[in-house]
Copies of this chain bind each other. A is one copy, B any other.
Amino acid sequence: MLRSCAIRLRALGSPPARPPEAARRLFSSEKAIHKDYALPNPSWSKDLRLLFDQFMRKCEDGSWKRLPSYKQNPSQVFREFQTRFVDPSLKKEEQMSKAQQFTRSFEEGLGFEYVMFYSNAEKRIVCFFQGGLHLQGVPGFLHGGAIATIIDVTAGMCAIAEGIVMTANLNINYKKPIPLCSVVVLNSQLDKVEGRKVFISCTVQSIDEKTVHTEATALFIKLDPDKRLT
């Protein structure tokens, strides 16, 4: 689906917009909203922590960049997106302020635990992902929809380097099921750009790279700023 300015801001590493002090006091949940979830927490396994540390070292020379991740879009970004792309009749700001990013709407450790790193030179995203107990499909394994979700997120992050984009196609081959609570590595690569079309490929592998769990291609379309979505 859509990759918004919010995500682009995140990709660029900008801190979320903050309201002035008085407004901040009015919204007690503001701090929680702006918490960066792409950082270690007690639910992270040893494997996930080791991979995180390894890539944080790669970030030191600037060749890789860790991408922060939030539960909600900063209100400034929300308004910008609504103004540019959404029909005014659909603006339900009060209700939407309660909405949460799908992948960050779980309790710590029970859903999507992940961190993404971006290499601008390679046009590549690496995502380390640990899928928790509330992402179950059949007993003991991740749901196919949860795998599709983390692929959409990772491929989408790779595509937004090209502009504000929308997922047009996801084609996913499931090769080997992923055990719940294990850590896998997603590799997402920009293949080509043709006009407004952005082509991305993505694989999901075991940490030792011996098992390919899933392979996918994705097509994203750059949004036309003069056209509304609905």
Contacts and interface: CB of A to CB of B under 8 A. Distances in A.
Interface of A: 1-4, 6-7, 73, 77-78, 81-82, 86, 90-92, 95-96, 98-103, 105-106, 110-111, 133-153, 156, 166-174, 176-177, 179-181, 229-230
Nearest to A146: B102
10 contacts: A90-B179, A99-B180, A100-B136, A101-B143, A102-B135, A144-B156, A145-B145, A145-B152, A146-B149, A169-B173
Number of copies: 2
A92 B92 CA distance: 45
A139 B78 contact: yes
Contacts of A143: 1, 101-103, 149, 152
A67 to B, nearest CB: 16
Contacts of A134: 99-100, 102, 105
Nearest to A110: B105
Nearest to A180: B99
B149 A153 contact: no
Given A167-B174, A173-B168, A99 B145 contact: no
B6 A139 contact: yes
A125 to B, nearest CB: 16
Considering residues A137, A147, A150, A230, which has the most beta carbons from chain B within 10 angstroms of its beta carbon? Answer: A137
Contacts of A135: 102, 105
Nearest to A4: B138
Contacts of A138: 1-4, 6-7, 81
Contacts of A153: 145
A108 to B, nearest CB: 14
A80 B100 CA distance: 37
Contacts of A229: 141, 177
